[in-house]
Chain A
Amino acid sequence: MKEKNNHTKRFGMVIDLDKCTGCGSCMVACYAENNVPFRVDETNKLDSLSWLVVHKITNGKPYPNTEICYLPMPCMQCDGIGKHGHSPCVSVCPAVATDYDHETGIVSQIYTRCFGCRYCMAACPYHARKFNWWDPVWPADMKKYLSPNVSPRMRGVVEKCSFCFHRYQQAKDKAFYEKREELYEDEYQTACAEACPTGAITFGDLNNKNHAVYKLKKDPRAFRLLERLHTNPKVYYLTSKSWVRRAGDNYLANEEPGKIKQEMVHGH
């Protein structure tokens, strides 16, 4: 193989919560990109297939001091302890249907391999995984809009956000064709990042100094969800509101979110 672009990539996302307006474009972009089906009643959010969910969190203060923050949550693509790819879901899958891709840092999910035991769903602390309780149905002629780049799932398997991995595959195809070894930053972007009308979602290689996410993850506003579980998520959030940051983990009243993070980093 000619390819020399083997130095490990860690694709990740930085979501600026100060910019998120909760419009839901990212969710719809994801549905449309990834052939996510829909049902007549989607109001039971526990069984609603959605690879990216925009959660609404509140500071709980009474009117008129109420504040709200929208929190888009895709799969966190956990690196696991020591960044060895020992993510919570990968380590419990009995079928190797979900695995950690060391080249990109993306946690894969192979639907044809999955037999639906849902251990991974129990293991995932972020509720990023969804189960296909029903066969997908595309009414009328809607099957015609299905994309061949993402395989439609069948009943009985688990699915989740793939960081639009097929776009990486396609971008690499083009790079090979043009005899390039590296992808440009804008060549591989997730559908949600691309769709976000406020530009709140930034996507790129966390290891690449030239990518925007490299700098953004070091922003003083940056934090990750449930950091103390040592799942090492590759999705970072930015917020200037301390109550939002506090909501990102189960902090005790006397704990300071920023400090805890430091301890954790030093721990490894």
Chain B
Amino acid sequence: MKVARRSFLSLSLGVAAGVTLSPLPWKLMDDISIWTQNWPWTPVPEDGEISYAQSICTLCPGGCGINVRKINNRPVKIEGLKEHPLNKGGLCPLGMSGLQYLYGPSRIQSPLKRVGKRGSGNWKKITWKEALADVSEKLYDLRVSGRPQALACIASTDRGTVPKLIARFLTAYGSPNFIRASTAFDSLEQAIYLTQGQQGTPGIDIENADFILSFGTGILDGWGGASRMCNLYGKHNSTKKIIQIEPRLSDTAVCATEWIGINPGTEAALALGLAHVIIKESLYNKDFVEYVSFGFDDWTDEDGTVHEGFAKLAGSYPPDKVSQITGISKTKIVSLARKFARASKPIALAGRGQGSVPGSIDECLAIHSLNALVGNINRTGGVSVIPGPDYAKWPEVKMDVAASKGMQQPRIDGAGGKQFPNTQFLLNRLPEIINSAKGESPVQALLVADANPLYTLPDTAATKKAFNRIPFIVSFSSYMDETSAMADYILPNHSYLERYQDVPTPAGLARPLIGLAKPVINPVYDTKHVGDSFIQIAKSLGGFIENAFPWDNYEAFLKESLDDQWDELNNKGFIENKYDDLPAPLAYSFNTVSSKFEFYPTLRNNPKNKDVDVLPAFTPVPIEGDFQKFPLVLIPYDSIRLAGNYIANSPFMTKTIDDTVLKQQTVLVEINPITAKKLGLCEKDKAVLITPKGKADVKIHLYEGIMPGVLALPRGLGHTAYSKYLADKGVNVNDLIGPIKDPSSGHDMAWGIRARLTKA
């Protein structure tokens, strides 16, 4: 007992000495420090063999080449393809973040059937067999009921084999209602058709133009293929002149040689004013105007009626009048006209921002007339028409009685009808037509492929109301977007990295270039190529519909369509039609009545036989709202960092958004400090933005780069679906802006809406 304490102390001392002299503490310390560096929840990515897979990006219609870096066949990074003629190794943020679409939380991982109320988000996983059987049965019943034309399909494009296959399905089924979203290229296409009689995709040879007069076109805000335009800008920024005309200092305006602020919606007046100066000072291309144009001067028709020519129309837009309309000084108008006309390869561009709104046909014609005045039609550095892709002929669709009866019905959207004979698709009119229909909705079943109309169409509330009247909606989307969320069935498509898809010449490109998107990875989830879904539905519908699809699957269809181009496309990824100059015969082969370029477009619908309805006179677009109640004007703007189309933002893109655009959940509305001061608003103040279409909570961002009296909101925010990384951030401008029908084309021509801003 006596020694107990001492012995204990001694023992402890011994232990301490022993432990110190043993490796235990030192080794343990080392191990613990390593342990603290290796939290099990911090992932350790698997290493392995690096390989690359080349493909074409189809997240936007730009058609850039991509090079996917893979580790052990697992994609880890998307890079731009150096060999691709458009992006040459560069890539926009959307394409760069592509893998977030492949693995992201908004991917739909198997076919789904709605079980709760529409839009409630309650889904049941079903098998592909069940999904295809259910959809086929519904479509069968609709057809048997004698109304195959009540089936409609919405797609984002009609170019490429996938939409062609879907349209073929609708034809065999008996519905003329294949509808795709419209863009500013549709207006240009129509303007080209009316003046040149040529049909095809507009080619805009920015590559070779040296003076770009852009009426608000966001050439560096995502228009015409973001990477292509950026690449051109980087290469030629010191030699090409860009004149950007718009009320807001956009990123294009930031980079432009000169930015000219203009009263929103008065671009057509400026175009006519410039034409006035060019004609008055005789700066126009006389050869072109004299020999290959029609309707420049007044002319007399067969009945002896004298018609006004373009020169006279332009004559009524002298600089001082135009200055008053546009807010641009007289001297600037005159000097701009001179600079434009004297440039060696000038080009005038119509369509605002990325061109998601088709815009007014008159405006487009007025701007296109400027190109004609300088003779820049079907010429290097000018505007031309690109022929469609050269697909092998498919066997003709044989229609049964039901199908041919259905196909004889007028299109639901009214495109191609009496009122809008020159328009192919009018998606923007669909909600209005459904909502105003008495009794049942004219659309009884809706198939949506690669489109998200519930987000991209103007006036979301009306669109939603219309969709609620459609009894059966099937979405083929890869993602839980707004439209999928409202669907009854979702038959998810492979993501763009998991599927074959041909990519026709990107809109706006002046040289034919077709690409082939190839799967770079086997499907990650239980998805199916949308083409295969349609083929399988056709097969289960049987009869003539089945016969219209003699292919086993989409890949076989694609191979047959691309025919002898398949091998080269599959190996190289793209086929470029190289030529420095447009082939001579194409140059001036106009298919108009006069066989000339028609400044006075006789092809234009002219029921009242009035010159003002044919010539592109400036009539202000009647934007919605009363000036007293809504003293301000709201315009949407586009940004490369925000995907405003049917493909929504990736988390990475949202991460790049400035805090002057989005702060927490609230979007910031851009307002000139002068206007803000009048309203008693300061930076970051909370406010309520009200338009005739709706209202939204916003914050204030004072921006010197916006015209006083004008407000601007970005496109691409305000999603309600997708994942928490995108949903409920900001406001969808389409909630606040409604469509305005162009009386001539039926397209949406709204460039904005009247608005009111009050401090919250």
A–B contact at 8 Å CB threshold (below): yes
Interface set of A (CB-CB < 8 Å, partner B): 18-19, 21-25, 27-29, 31-33, 35, 38, 40-45, 48, 50, 54, 56, 58, 60-64, 66-70, 112, 135-136, 138-148, 152-155, 191, 194-200
Cβ–Cβ < 8 Å partners of B235 in chain A:
199
Interface residues in B41-55 (C-beta closer than 8 Å to A): 41-48
Interface string of B205-233 (1 = CB under 8 A from A): 00000000000000010000011001101
A24, B654: Cα distance in complex, Å = 11
Contact A32:B249 (CB < 8 A) given known A43-B662, A148-B47:
no
Contact A147:B656 (CB < 8 A) given known A23-B93, A24-B640, A198-B233:
no
A142, B74: Cα distance in complex, Å = 12
Determine whether the beta carbon of B43 is less than 8 Å from that of A139.
no
Cβ–Cβ < 8 Å partners of A145 in chain B:
74-77, 99-100, 102-103
Contact A195:B656 (CB < 8 A) given known A23-B641, A38-B725, A145-B99:
no
A17, B23: Cα distance in complex, Å = 58
Shortest A14–chain B CB gap in Å is: 14
Determine whether the beta carbon of A135 is less than 8 Å from that of B93.
no
Contact A50:B231 (CB < 8 A) given known A135-B39, A139-B105:
no
- B30 at interface, CB cutoff 8 A: no
Interface residues in B669-726 (C-beta closer than 8 Å to A): 672-674, 704-708, 723-725
A27, B650: Cα distance in complex, Å = 13
By beta carbon, the residue of chain B nearest A42 is B655
Shortest B719–chain A CB gap in Å is: 13
Other-chain residue from A24, A136, A142, A199 in contact with B641 (beta carbon distance below 8 A) = A24
- B575 at interface, CB cutoff 8 A: no
Determine whether the beta carbon of B652 is less than 8 Å from that of A38.
yes
- B510 at interface, CB cutoff 8 A: no
The number of chain B residues with a CB under 8 A from chain A is: 81
Nearest 8 CB-CB pairings of A with B? A198-B234, A197-B90, A197-B230, A146-B45, A148-B47, A140-B105, A24-B656, A28-B93
A148, B75: Cα distance in complex, Å = 11
Q: Which of B254-262, B433-441, B557-565 contacts A (4 or more CB under 8 A)?
A: B254-262
- B658 at interface, CB cutoff 8 A: yes
Determine whether the beta carbon of B664 is less than 8 Å from that of A43.
yes
Contact A32:B97 (CB < 8 A) given known A23-B92, A38-B725, A139-B105:
yes
Other-chain residue from B77, B102, B237 in contact with A18 (beta carbon distance below 8 A) = B237
Some 7 contacts from A to B, beta carbons below 8 A apart, are A21-B233, A22-B640, A29-B91, A32-B652, A41-B665, A141-B524, A145-B103
Determine whether the beta carbon of B104 is less than 8 Å from that of A142.
yes
Interface set of B (CB-CB < 8 Å, partner A): 37, 39, 41-48, 69, 71, 74-80, 87, 89-93, 96-97, 99-100, 102-105, 107, 220, 226-227, 230-231, 233-235, 237-238, 249, 251-252, 254-255, 259-261, 524, 640-641, 650-660, 662-665, 672-674, 704-708, 723-725
A69, B654: Cα distance in complex, Å = 21
Cβ–Cβ < 8 Å partners of B80 in chain A:
194-195, 197
Determine whether the beta carbon of A197 is less than 8 Å from that of B226.
yes
Determine whether the beta carbon of A198 is less than 8 Å from that of B90.
yes
Determine whether the beta carbon of A198 is less than 8 Å from that of B42.
no
Determine whether the beta carbon of A23 is less than 8 Å from that of B45.
no
Other-chain residue from B231, B252, B652 in contact with A31 (beta carbon distance below 8 A) = B652
Determine whether the beta carbon of B640 is less than 8 Å from that of A23.
yes
